[in-house]
């Protein structure tokens, strides 16, 4: 019986070396004599010791912070922009066999793509159209990483930092823009008022009796006003009538 102990021990060691546990969120890439042969799903998997090797790949969504990038906008404003990229492996064989380090490759590609996309837009777009810029960066990254077995789930621009001197210049520009709009609104109001007065004058010229009614209404306003001295305007038609009477006399 002692001579069976060593073979049994070797058999147990061989079986232990042959078993691999693949978790639910992982996939196992199997190489046979250095050549890719299969992808194993989750569960207890068996490989041939010393002949086959298994590399586990995490299939969960990964988060990659993009460090601050110096970007020159289309209107020549220097800003610092950082973002975060969410991605996951959809084809573990491609991710392992086609890229040496798919995480590092995705990070570097995201940095260059972020600078390239934002450099084509003005500062106002970076601040007000962030959702559209996120989508543009995501689409470009997704197209370029598709051959690596990587799916870009989302891209979010976190901060757009502007130099303090540019902040003051932008504040002055915004103030000037508000003043310009206020002047335009005031001019439009005066134009509308002038048009209304012109229309009212045309109507009163056609109907003299309307002018008399307006005159009487003005007298009523003066009567209700406080004060001891009231100056009343003399209607032009009354003045003309008095002048005619004097000439006739």
Q: Is the pLDDT of residue 97 over 90?
A: yes
52 and 29 in a common domain:
yes
pLDDT band at 218 (very low <50, low <70, confident <90, very high): low
pLDDT band at 128 (very low <50, low <70, confident <90, very high): confident
In a domain, 70, yes or no: yes
Q: CA 231 from chain center: how many Å?
A: 64
Angle, CA of 70, 76 and 78, to the nearest 5° = 30
76 and 110 in a common domain:
yes
In a domain, 72, yes or no: yes
149 and 69 in a common domain:
yes
104 and 39 in a common domain:
no
DSSP string, the chain: -HHHHHHHHHHHHHHHHHEEEE-TTEEEEEEETTEEEEEE-SEEEE--TTTEEEEEEE-S-EEEEEEEEEEE-TTS-EEEEEEEEEEEES-HHHHHHT-S-HHHHHHHHHHHHHHHHHTTS-HHHHHH-HHHHHHHHHHHHHHHHGGGTEEEEEEEEEEEEE-HHHHHHHHHHHHHHHHHHHHHHHHHHHHHHHHHHHHHHHHHHH-HHHHHHHHHHHHHHHHHS-SS----PPPHHHHHHHHHHHHH-
- Residues 24, 60: Cα–Cα separation, whole Å: 10
In a domain, 239, yes or no: no
pLDDT band at 16 (very low <50, low <70, confident <90, very high): confident
Q: For the residues 213-234, what does the mean pLDDT come to?
A: 59
83 and 53 in a common domain:
no
Q: CA 105 from chain center: how many Å?
A: 25
Task: Specify which residues 69 forms β-bridges with.
Answer: 81
- Residues 32, 42: Cα–Cα separation, whole Å: 19
In a domain, 224, yes or no: no
In a domain, 151, yes or no: yes
* Listed residues 140, 168, 196: the one ending a domain: 168
44 and 71 in a common domain:
no
In a domain, 103, yes or no: yes
pLDDT in tens, 57-71: 999 999 999 998 888
In a domain, 92, yes or no: yes
67 and 23 in a common domain:
no
146 and 71 in a common domain:
yes
123 and 53 in a common domain:
no
Count how many domains the chain has. Answer: 2
Whether this prediction's pTM lies above 0.75 is answered by: no
| pLDDT recorded at residue 235 | 56
- Residues 106, 177: Cα–Cα separation, whole Å: 42
| Domain CATH number, residue 110 | 3.30.479.30
151 and 76 in a common domain:
yes
71 and 37 in a common domain:
no
In a domain, 20, yes or no: yes
* Listed residues 115, 135, 168: the one ending a domain: 168
149 and 53 in a common domain:
no
Q: Which residue in 136, 148, 162, 152 sits closest to 61, CA to CA?
A: 152
- Domain extent at residue 31: 12-58
């Amino acid at each position: 019986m002692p001579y069976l102990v060593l073979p049994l021990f070797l058999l147990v060691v061989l079986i232990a070396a042959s078993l691999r546990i693949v978790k639910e969120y992982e996939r196992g890439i199997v190489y046979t004599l250095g050549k890719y042969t299969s992808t194993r799903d989750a569960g207890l998997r068996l490989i041939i010791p010393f002949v086959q090797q298994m590399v586990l790949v995490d299939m969960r969504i990964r988060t990659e912070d993009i460090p601050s990038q110096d970007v020159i906008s289309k209107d020549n404003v220097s800003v610092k922009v950082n973002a975060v990229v969410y991605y996951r492996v959809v084809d573990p064989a491609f991710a392992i066999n086609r890229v040496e380090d798919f995480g590092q490759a995705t990070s570097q590609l995201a940095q260059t793509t972020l600078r390239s996309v934002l450099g084509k837009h003005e500062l106002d777009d970076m601040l007000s159209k962030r959702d559209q810029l996120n989508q543009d960066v995501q689409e470009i990254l997704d197209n370029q990483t598709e051959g690596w077995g990587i799916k870009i789930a989302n891209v979010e621009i976190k901060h757009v930092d502007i130099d303090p001197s540019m902040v003051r210049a932008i504040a002055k520009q915004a103030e000037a823009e508000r003043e310009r709009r206020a002047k335009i609104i005031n001019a439009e109001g005066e134009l509308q008022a002038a048009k209304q007065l012109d229309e009212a004058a045309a109507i009163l010229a056609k109907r003299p009796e309307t002018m008399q009614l307006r005159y009487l209404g003005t007298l009523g306003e003066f009567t209700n006003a406080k004060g001891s001295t009231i100056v009343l305007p003399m209607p032009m038609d009354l003045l003309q009538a008095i002048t005619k009477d004097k000439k006739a006399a």
